[in-house]
Structure 1
C-alpha cells in the first residue's frame, strides 16, 4: 500500500521563509508529495467488496465516484460496476462490453475477486478514496498557482482560475456550485442523438437546470412526432412502438414549468399553427354550410332534387392535449392516427382524471395501459349508442410532479395494475438558481426545429389488402445483425438482474424497462436518420445505456416513495442543511430559517434525531484566543471541514512555512486514529458476523485487523 509518511517528509521546517532553489522549478517539491496521494490497497479492497458483495456497491456509490480512483483500470472497473454486472458472470459481461482489458484483464480481476474483505469498512474506504481524490485536485490547483505566478501572469487571472477550480472540489461548500447527490449516476446526455444532446445541454446551461429535466419531455415529444409511422421489430411476433411515459419529480420552485415548456415547444408551437388553421377552415365551413342550407331551402320550395351533399366539417390536426377524458381522447385519435401526447405540466391532474367519472375506482387506467403499447381501444358511448374503435391508440405522456404529491397519487391499486411500472421516472438534483446570460444558440434551436419537421413528415407504409383496397401500416424497422446481438445480451443480463430484485414494485418496473431499451433505440435511429431502414448497433447501444440509467433512477425514486413520513421529514432536513448551509448548521440557524424548528429546543431535537440515524455528529467549537463561548455545530457526514480561525496565533515555528509533505498524511492519536477531513470514521463491526482470520489485513490501514481500532 502506498501512503504518505510524515516522518519521511522532505519539506523544510525553518523559523524563517525557505529560500527558493535556483536549480528546480517552484513546484518540483510539491510533485514529489502528490505522488503519495493515492492508496492502491484501499482501491483494491473497495472493488473486491463490490465483486464479492454486490450489495456493497450501493453503499460506496453514495460516497465516491469512478473518477475518484487513481488507477485507470480501477476507474474503468468502478464505472462498469455502477452500470451493473450480473453476479457470477462478471468477466463474461465485461468481455461482451469490450471493457475487460480496460479493467485490468481477467487475471487481475480474478486476483481482486479472490481477496477477502470485511463489509464493515466499505464506507470508510470509499470516503478515503474520495478524500484523496480531492487532495490530488487541490495539489494540482496549487501547482497551477505556482506556475501562474512564475510565468508572471496577472494576479487576478491566477486567483480567479484557482477560485473556480477550488469550488469544483468542494461541492458541498455553501458558496460553491454543488454537484449535489454524488450517489446519482450522471444522465448520459452523450447517448442522445447529437441534435437533441446539443439542445438539452444548451437549455440546461441557460436556465440552469439538470439535463434530464429537459431530456425526458424532449424525448417524449420526439417519440410523439414519430408516432405510429414506425415500429421496431425484435422478432416476428414482437414489435415495439415509440411510446414514452415520462415524469420529472421535482419540488416546487425548481423551474419545472419553464424547463418543460422549452422541451415540448417544438410540438406546441406547431399545435398552435394547426389550431389557427382549423379555426380559419371552420369559419369557411360555417359559411359553406349556410350557403348549402340556403340552397337546400330553395330546392325544397321548387321541389327540386338534392344535388350536393352537406359539406364535411374540417378536422383539427392535433399533436398534444392537456386534459382529455378517455372518450375525448378516443375521438382525437380517430382523427389523428399518428398518435398524440398528453402534455401535463402538473401530472397530479392526469392521475386525478382517472377517477373523474368512476367514483374513485381509477376506471380509465385500463384504457391508458392499452395506449401505452399502442394497442386497440374501443370506447362505447351511452349517448347515441356510438362505438369508437382505434386500431393503434398510441399516446405518450410527459409532465412534472412534486415528490410528496407523487407519493399520494400512486395508490396501491395503481401499482397492482402496473401503471407506475410503465413510467420513466427521474428525480434530478437541480443546481442552485443563479443569474445567467446564457441563451440557447439560434443554430441549435433551428437544427432542432428542422429535426421535428423531418419527424412530422414521416409517412405510413401504404399496403393493399386482398380486395385491392389501400390501407396504411407502421413501417417496421428490423435490427441490424450487431444490434440484434446487443439486444439479446441486454435482454438476458437484464432478466438476471430483475430476478435478483426482492421488491415486487421494482421488479415490475424492470419488466417494463426492458422494452424501453428497444423503444429508445428506435427513437435514436430515426432521429439520426429519419429515412433509415433498420435500427443500427449504436442506437441500440445508446438505448441500452439510457435504460440502465433509468434502472438506477427507478430504484432511487421507489426508495423515496417507500419512505415513512418521519424518513421523508429527515431527508428534507438533510437536503436543506446540505443545500443552504453546506452541511454544517447550528440550532439557531434552523430557528432563523423556518418556523417549523422554533423554539431552539425543537431544532436541537431535530438535529439529535439525525445524529441517532447516523447522519451526522456534533462538532464542539472551542473559543478562539480572542474569547467567546463554546458552540455546538451539527455536521453532516461528508460535509467540508470547519473554516480555520480568521486570526490564528502566530508562532516562530509556523511563520511563512507550509508542510506540504503532511498533506493527507495520517495523524498520530493517543486513543483512535483521526479520520480524514470530512470523513466519518468506519462503523463498528457487526458482532453477529464471525471475525476474519488473524492474518487478514485491513486494506485501508495496511495493518492487521486486530491492531486497527475501528
Structure 2
C-alpha cells in the first residue's frame, strides 16, 4: 500500500501525529478526528468501511456503531470459543455494554444495524416454532416443543437461565429500557439480583434451588448485555453503587461529543451495508453449526504482551481502590476482546482459528485503553453531578441557598427549581444520591456542609 510519508495533502499530514500510515489508515484517522477515539483498526476493512459510511451518510455515531458491532460479534461467538489462560483461568467472550449519551443522540439505530443478523435468525426460529407448535397435540404424550431464542429483552432471571438452556451457545440480553433493567437490579431488593448477574459475568455455573425454579441450572452461562441510557441517568445509578463490582463490569461507550446531529441529505451506500450484514450472517451461520466449545490459548508473544500490560496496572491499582476496581475487570476483558477479535477476524479473512495471536492481543489492549478512559469519564460524571463539594456542585449550591442544616425534600426540590438547577424529578435524584446530606426521617434531610 502506498506510503504517505511524502504526501503533502491534508490526508498525508495525518502521519505527523499518528505515525507512518497508509493512505487508507490516514483517511480513517482524519474522518475520526474530533469525533471518536475508538480504535477502528481493530476491525477488518469491511467493518471499518461500514462504520464510516453510516457515520458520514447515516447520522450514526462512530462510538455507538463500533461498540455495538463489537458486542454483536461477542454475542454471536458465545460459547463456541473460549480462551484458556491457564488451567484455572478460562474466559468466554461475553461483554456488558452501555451506550451513554443525551436524549435524541440516535443510540438505537447502531444497535439495530449491529444485531440485524441475530434478529433475522431469531425471526426464522420463531416462524419454525409457530409451525411446530401449531401441529403439537398435548394429549400425544410427546414433549412440548421448546422455543429457541438468541436474545431476549426483559426476562426474569429464572427465565433467562431457562431460555439459555435451550440455546447453550449463549444469550444476548437487549433490554428495551436499560434504565428499568438497571433500576430493577439496584432497587430495594437489588443486591441479590446483582449478585446473580455477577456470577453470570464470571461464567460460573448457576443453580437456582428454590422450589419454583428447580430446573433452573446452567453449567456454562455466556450472556452478553447491551443497551443505551442517558448520561445523567447512568450517573445517578452509579452514585447508588453498592461497590460490589457490578458497574466495573460494564463497558461504557461515551462519545467525545454528546450532542444531537443534523440529519444528512445523503443515504448510506447500500452495497457497503449489505456486505456487512451478509458477512455477519455468515459468521452466525458458522457458529450455529458448531456443537461444542473450542478452547484457544495465547501464543507466546500474545501471552507476553498480556502479562506486561496487566503488570502495568499494579501500581495505579495499589494507589487507588476505584482504579483497582476498574482495571481488575479490564484485565479480564483484555482476554475477552482478544478472543473475539481473533475468532472474528480469522473467520472474515478465511484463516484457520487456532490460537489467539499477537495482533489480536495488541488490538485488545487498544480496546482496554478506550474503555478505561470511558470508565473514568463516567466516574467524573458522578463526581461532578452528585458528589462535588466545590462551589460548582449542584447539590451544594442548593443546600447553601436553603441555608439550613436540616431541610425537607420539598424545600430542596423547590429551591433547585427556583435556581434553575433541576426540575422536580431530577432534583429528587440529586438529593437521593448525594453524599452531602443524609435522610434522618421520611422527607427530612440533614447536612454537615454548612458547619
TM-score normalised by the shorter chain: which range applies?
0.7 to 0.9
Among residues 322, 331, 334, which one is paired with 1:505 in the alignment?
A: 322
Contact 1:245 1:424 in 2 (8 A): yes
Displacement of 1:416 = 1.6
Q: From the superposition, tell whether residues 480 and 375 of structure 1 become closer, same or farther in structure 2 (CA, over 3 Å).
A: same
Counterparts of 1:83-122 in structure 2, within 5 Å, are: none
Question: Is residue 239 from structure 1 mapped to residue 90 from structure 2 by the alignment?
Answer: yes
Among residues 381, 385, 388, which one is paired with 2:210 in the alignment?
A: 381
- Match for residue 426 of structure 2? none
Contact 2:169 2:222 in 1 (8 A): yes
- Match for residue 37 of structure 2? 186
Displacement of 1:178 = 12
- Match for residue 301 of structure 1? none
d(CA) in 1 for partners of 2:261, 2:391: 23
SS of 2:143 mapped into structure 1: coil
Among residues 155, 158, 170, which one is paired with 1:327 in the alignment?
A: 158
Displacement of 1:263 = 2.4
Displacement of 1:597 = 8.4
Displacement of 1:458 = 4.2
Among residues 265, 271, 289, which one is paired with 1:443 in the alignment?
A: 271
TM-score normalised to structure 1 length:
0.48
Displacement of 1:234 = 1.9
CA displacement, residues 487-528 of structure 1 (integer Å, 9 cap, x when unaligned): 22212223334334x3x2332011101111111111111111
d(CA) in 1 for partners of 2:392, 2:66: 30
Displacement of 1:340 = 0.5
- Match for residue 198 of structure 2? 369
Among residues 290, 304, 318, which one is paired with 1:485 in the alignment?
A: 304
- Match for residue 252 of structure 1? 103
- Match for residue 7 of structure 2? none
Q: From the superposition, tell whether residues 406 and 282 of structure 1 become closer, same or farther in structure 2 (CA, over 3 Å).
A: same
Contact 1:278 1:316 in 2 (8 A): yes
- Match for residue 353 of structure 1? 184
d(CA) in 1 for partners of 2:54, 2:217: 40
d(CA) in 2 for partners of 1:535, 1:179: 31
SS of 1:353 mapped into structure 2: helix
Counterparts of 1:82-481 in structure 2, within 5 Å, are: 186-285=37-136, 288-289=137-138, 292=140, 310-354=141-185, 359-383=188-212, 386-412=214-240, 414-428=241-255, 429-430=257-258, 432-458=260-286, 473-481=292-300
- Match for residue 335 of structure 2? 518
Displacement of 1:355 = 6.0
Unaligned segments of structure 2, at least 5 residues: 1-12, 22-29, 395-416, 421-451
Q: From the superposition, tell whether residues 241 and 178 of structure 1 become closer, same or farther in structure 2 (CA, over 3 Å).
A: closer
Displacement of 1:214 = 1.1
- Match for residue 469 of structure 1? none
d(CA) in 1 for partners of 2:264, 2:357: 39
Contact 1:355 1:361 in 2 (8 A): yes
Q: From the superposition, tell whether residues 566 and 417 of structure 1 become closer, same or farther in structure 2 (CA, over 3 Å).
A: closer
Displacement of 1:260 = 2.5
CA displacement, residues 22-41 of structure 1 (integer Å, 9 cap, x when unaligned): xxxxxxxxxxxxxxxxxxxx
Displacement of 1:549 = 1.4
Q: Superposition RMSD on alpha carbons, in Å?
A: 3.3
d(CA) in 2 for partners of 1:481, 1:241: 20
Number of matched pairs: 372
d(CA) in 2 for partners of 1:235, 1:515: 13
d(CA) in 1 for partners of 2:387, 2:202: 38
SS of 1:344 mapped into structure 2: coil
SS of 1:231 mapped into structure 2: strand
Higher helix share: 2
Displacement of 1:461 = 11
d(CA) in 2 for partners of 1:597, 1:438: 43
Counterparts of 1:451-600 in structure 2, within 5 Å, are: 451-458=279-286, 473-500=292-319, 502=320, 504-530=321-347, 531-565=352-386
SS of 2:243 mapped into structure 1: helix
d(CA) in 2 for partners of 1:212, 1:350: 22
d(CA) in 2 for partners of 1:479, 1:340: 25
CA displacement, residues 544-601 of structure 1 (integer Å, 9 cap, x when unaligned): 11111111121112111112359699699xxxxxxxxxxxxxxxxxxxxxx9889xxx
- Match for residue 447 of structure 2? none
Displacement of 1:442 = 3.1
Q: From the superposition, tell whether residues 416 and 534 of structure 1 become closer, same or farther in structure 2 (CA, over 3 Å).
A: same
